[in-house]
Amino acid sequence: MDLQKLKINKVGIVGSGTMGSQIAALFANYGIPVLLLDVETEKDGVYTSEIAEKAINRLKEIKPSPIIDDTVLELIETGNTKEDMKMLNGVDWVIEAVSENINVKKDVWQNISRHVDDQTILSSNTSGILISSIMASLPEHLTSRFMGTHFFNPPRYLKLLEVIPTEITDSKTIDLVTIFAENVLGKGVVICKDVPNFIGNRLWLFSIMSTLKYAEKYEIKPNEVDAITGSILGRPKSATFRTMDIVGLDVLVAICDNLIEYFKGTSEKEYYKVPSYLRELVKKGWVGAKSGQGIYRKSEVDGRNVIETIDLNRFEYSVNPPFESNNILSISKIDNTGLRIKKLVYDGSDNVSKFVRDVLLSTLIYTASKSNEIAYDLASIDKAMKWGFGWELGPFEIWDILGLNESLELMGKIGMKAPEWVESLSKESKTFY
């Protein structure tokens, strides 16, 4: 393949926050010049590009580093949206990466649209806003080259790039972005349907909310949840509550509230009702890593650094003893992730086993029920969860390991029900792959 024919030789990025600056770094790492714009600052009647410039300097301090070395930053030219939007004319791909606010995004695109030529690829980087809603701010002649892109954070290290076309996005433009992202940027591209939170975040959020629900039901403490839902299940060590602290509890609550509003009047909204303790933590300002405490906090006890876990009833922190479960301990020694999951689901009758069983099975059922709504094929769903969230196995891969008929029988016994298409499949091929 002649990569020169891809014709993406320069990229323009509007918005130099966490995502915008790191997306800029990603392209620069691969030798692609970038124009990075952000709002202007004014000093003595002169407009400056200080915000974008500071964003580039911060890239040197981020750990893990988003850049190969400092020299790649020479490929990133900065500017401001007051004076330099005209410089977008002639770039091959413009990526908007401003805050996750649809009104802000619409305003920015109205500005961008006045300065790009008729060949420029256009995309809004968002983790879950409907692309068709953002597109409404564009003139008609630009809409066929407009799509959503969701670079997973941090862009240098996470493989997943969700590409979200609208109904009128030109197929050749989608192909061009896909081929370029895969062959030049080293991304794993998944084409998503234009629905809230797309594939990855939609399923990840449900999995999180399901975990919180069943942790409360079976009285499993946060540190115990994380001991169970991390590497044992073939997922990152940050597991559930640690991941929530990293994301920010305030961000998590806001996302859930947005989805509740979107799904108002439907049963779907029930999935995203957050536990009262999360709202209380947000109210206190204990929102996770960025505030110094959330579910966890670092403290010093007897001259040594320790990690304390919050009691979700009393909102007091303490050092928890190591989580002990004979069943979990024995299962953790099994090398094969699929076998560990199978044993967790089918063996054991204690609350820990029931917790894992209910979380996994409810996530599989939800995924299957939403598969046609969010994705064009089942493989895309599995790829999204593996590439975006570090799962060793995707939902349908897990289901095949559990056995379709066996899992459906278990679901029936505990009062869960899979979608009809899965029931029909069980009478035919008996596997998803």
Q: Give me 358's structure tokens.
A: 């209910």
Q: Give residue 1's pLDDT band: very low, low, confident or very high (50, 70, 90).
A: very low
Sequence spans of domains, the chain: 3-191, 200-277+321-425
Burial (CB count <10 Å: 0-12, 13-18, 19+), residue 403: middle
Rounded (10°) angle between helices 249-262 and 276-284: 130
Q: Please give the pLDDT value at position 4.
A: 52
pLDDT exceeds 60 at position 344: yes
- How far CA 164 is from CA of 13, 134, 240, 250, 293, in Å, comes to 18, 12, 27, 26, 35
Burial (CB count <10 Å: 0-12, 13-18, 19+), residue 54: middle
Q: Give residue 6's pLDDT band: very low, low, confident or very high (50, 70, 90).
A: low
Instruction: For residue 424, list its beta bridge partners.
Output: none
Q: Please give the pLDDT value at position 43.
A: 84
By the 8 A CB rule, do 100 and 127 touch?
yes
Arithmetic mean of pLDDT over the chain? 94
Topology annotation, domain 200-277+321-425: N-(1-d-carboxylethyl)-l-norvaline Dehydrogenase; domain 2 (1.10.1040)
Compare 332 and 83 and report the one with higher pLDDT: 83
Topology annotation, domain 3-191: Rossmann fold (3.40.50)
Q: Give residue 301's pLDDT band: very low, low, confident or very high (50, 70, 90).
A: confident
- How far CA 304 is from CA of 173, 202, 316, in Å, comes to 56, 40, 20
Q: Please give the pLDDT value at position 151.
A: 97
The tens digit of pLDDT for each residue in 245-269 reads 999 999 999 999 989 998 999 999 9
d(C-alpha 116, C-alpha 110), whole Å: 11
